[in-house]
């Protein structure tokens, strides 16, 4: 007779001899035989290997088979090809696109080199003995310039697992918020719980500037959502074997973990770093408005971010250890009127095309007159919200039409004119959008 469920089994496993203290659980049979969870798992693997996949297999096991292996190096898109694909979705920001394209391509090559499949892994120069470090990248740029859009666009063309996380929700372990290891859980989920695939993935950490400490001096108090998070990120960025909770959530002693090696994971960070222009201006010996001193070198006061250095990130509030683990630094330019005008109409997912598709689903042909588009751009510049301001303004202009048009069989075409756009904005209070 089998033991009752509430009665813990005693004795060792009848198959491997392991005691209960060395395994997670032991099951007892009616004749006194015992079997541990490890032997059950090994037996399941043997049966699955001999008989092949069976109906009713777990969803997680089926997901693992869907993960694609690493593509051959010859089939990988080259940096120029990656940038060309980015150009079709994102307007401008050529400098940042080049840095991203090179970083992603080198990440692919590093994975092949690690596997010993690189073209030069066995050359006479001894490259097979060279260990290529990953080049984590940080992008600095004002809000609405395309940092997150670049990351999402990269995700569409990658052959490795990719995830985007927000640094604002991170805190030290044990405090209210999300543990730093939680970003690895999201990558593991993006890889369909395939550990090998997750260990060659890419993580984009957005709003990295929000975990900066308030000043460059070491904090004398506990900073659980700033400096403390930076300290916790160090080992993950550098490369370490981390215990990851497969379902996320807080850690507890009885929880099962998956070991994930972050050595092969590429980290791309992005942040607005609001106010870093003053740090750059002080370092250059000039003010945020004006020109440089000495040497006849003229400083472009309209785009001080192009002069950003790792030292500026340290002065802003990132600890030196974290800055050292983000060796590639690039910037995104503020969007001018020409770029904003192009964003409205040129990309594959242009804002105007999105609204045209929405109205087309109701059988209505929507058009935007050039004067109306120019007016929208002027307002976006006034509100200082970049590309995000374009969507907010368009949503306000089109709200009444989107409410009235569905179900109205008499409306077959709508033209957004300058007068219509101005009237809609004047009838709505957009003052909350403006950034001082």
Average pLDDT value for residue range 327-333: 90
Domains of the chain: 1-52 (no CATH), 73-331 (3.40.50.300), 337-433 (1.10.8.60)
Residue 6 backbone zone (phi > 0: left; psi -120 to 50: alpha; other: beta): alpha
Average pLDDT value for residue range 224-231: 74
Report d(CA 308, CA 397) in Å as an integer: 38
Residues 6+ apart with CB under 8 A from 6: none
Check residue 254 and give its pLDDT.
59
Global model pTM greater than 0.75: no
Check residue 9 and give its pLDDT.
55
Q: Give the strand order in the sheet containing 162-166.
A: 162-166, 202-206, 266-271, 137-140, 328-331
What token pair was written down for 416? 């957004």
Q: Name the more confident of 224 and 300.
A: 300
Phi, psi of 219 (to 5 degrees): -75, 140
What one-character DSSP code corresponds to residue 123? S
Q: How many CB atoms lie within 10 A of CB 290?
A: 10
pLDDT at 249 over 80: no
Average pLDDT value for residue range 416-428: 89
What token pair was written down for 362? 């109701």
Report which of 350, 385, 382 is spatially closest to residue 366, judged by C-alpha positions.
Answer: 350
Indicate the SS3 state at residue 203. Answer: strand
Q: How confident is the model at residue 71 (pLDDT cuts 50, 70, 90)?
A: low
Check residue 240 and give its pLDDT.
87
- For 118-128, the pLDDT digits (tens) are 554 444 444 55
Report which of 81, 145, 60, 73 is spatially closest to residue 343, judged by C-alpha positions.
Answer: 145
- For 88-115, the pLDDT digits (tens) are 888 888 999 999 999 888 888 888 877 6
- For 174-197, the pLDDT digits (tens) are 555 577 888 898 899 888 888 988
Report d(CA 150, CA 165) in Å as an integer: 14
DSSP H helical segments within 52-93, as ranges?
A: 59-64, 79-87
Check residue 46 and give its pLDDT.
75
Determine contact, residues 288/281, Cβ cutoff 8 Å: yes
Mean pLDDT (the chain, rounded) = 78
Check residue 98 and give its pLDDT.
92
In the chain the first and final C-alpha atoms are separated, in Å, by 77
Distances from the Cα of 380 to the Cαs of 128, 144, 220, 272, 388, in angstroms? 53, 11, 42, 18, 8
Check residue 269 and give its pLDDT.
92
pLDDT at 47 over 50: yes
Determine contact, residues 117/93, Cβ cutoff 8 Å: no
Residues 6+ apart with CB under 8 A from 368: 344, 345, 352, 415, 416
- For 343-383, the pLDDT digits (tens) are 899 888 889 999 999 999 999 999 999 999 999 999 888 88
- For 250-291, the pLDDT digits (tens) are 555 556 788 899 988 999 999 989 889 899 988 887 655 444
Distances from the Cα of 242 to the Cαs of 109, 178, 233, 236, 251, in angstroms? 24, 16, 11, 8, 13
């Amino acid at each position: 007779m089998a033991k009752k469920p509430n009665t813990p089994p005693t004795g060792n496993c009848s198959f491997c001899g392991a005691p209960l203290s060395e395994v997670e659980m032991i099951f007892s049979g009616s004749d006194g035989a015992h079997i541990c969870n490890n032997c059950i798992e090994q037996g399941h693997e043997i049966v699955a290997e001999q008989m092949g996949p069976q109906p009713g297999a777990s969803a997680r096991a089926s997901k693992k088979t869907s993960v694609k292996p690493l593509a051959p190096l010859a089939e990988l898109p080259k940096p120029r090809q990656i940038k060309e694909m980015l150009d079709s979705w994102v307007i401008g920001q050529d400098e940042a696109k080049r840095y991203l394209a090179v970083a992603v391509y080198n990440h692919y090559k590093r994975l092949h080199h690690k596997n010993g499949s690189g073209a030069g892994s066995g050359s006479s120069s001894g490259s097979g003995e060279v260990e290529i470090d990953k080049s984590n990248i940080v992008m600095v740029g004002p809000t609405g310039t395309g940092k997150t859009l670049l990351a999402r666009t990269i995700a569409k063309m990658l052959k490795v697992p990719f995830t985007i996380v927000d640094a604002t929700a991170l805190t030290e372990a044990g405090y209210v918020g999300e543990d730093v290891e939680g970003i690895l859980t999201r990558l593991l989920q993006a890889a369909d719980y395939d550990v090998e695939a997750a260990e060659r993935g890419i993580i984009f950490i957005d709003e990295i500037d929000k975990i900066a400490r308030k000043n460059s001096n070491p904090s004398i108090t506990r900073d659980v959502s700033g400096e403390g998070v930076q300290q916790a990120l160090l080992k993950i960025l550098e490369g370490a074997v981390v215990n990851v909770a497969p379902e996320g959530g807080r850690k507890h002693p009885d929880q099962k973990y998956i070991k994930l090696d972050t050595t092969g994971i590429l980290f791309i960070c992005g942040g607005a770093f609001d106010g870093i222009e003053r740090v750059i201006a002080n370092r250059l010996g000039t003010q945020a408005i004006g020109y440089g001193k000495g040497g006849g070198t003229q400083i472009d006061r309209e785009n001080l971010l192009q002069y950003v250095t790792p030292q500026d990130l340290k002065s802003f509030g990132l600890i030196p250890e974290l800055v050292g683990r983000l060796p590639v630094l690039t910037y995104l330019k503020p969007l001018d009127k020409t770029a904003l005008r192009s964003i409205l109409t040129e990309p594959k997912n242009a804002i105007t095309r999105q609204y045209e598709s929405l109205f087309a689903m109701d059988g209505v042909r929507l058009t935007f007159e050039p004067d109306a588009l120019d007016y929208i751009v002027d307002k976006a510049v006034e509100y200082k919200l970049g590309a995000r301001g374009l969507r907010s303004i368009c949503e306000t202009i089109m709200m009444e039409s989107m409410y009235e048009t569905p179900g109205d069989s008499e409306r077959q075409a709508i033209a957004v004119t300058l007068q219509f756009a101005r009237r809609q904005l004047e009838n709505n209070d957009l003052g909350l959008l403006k950034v001082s």
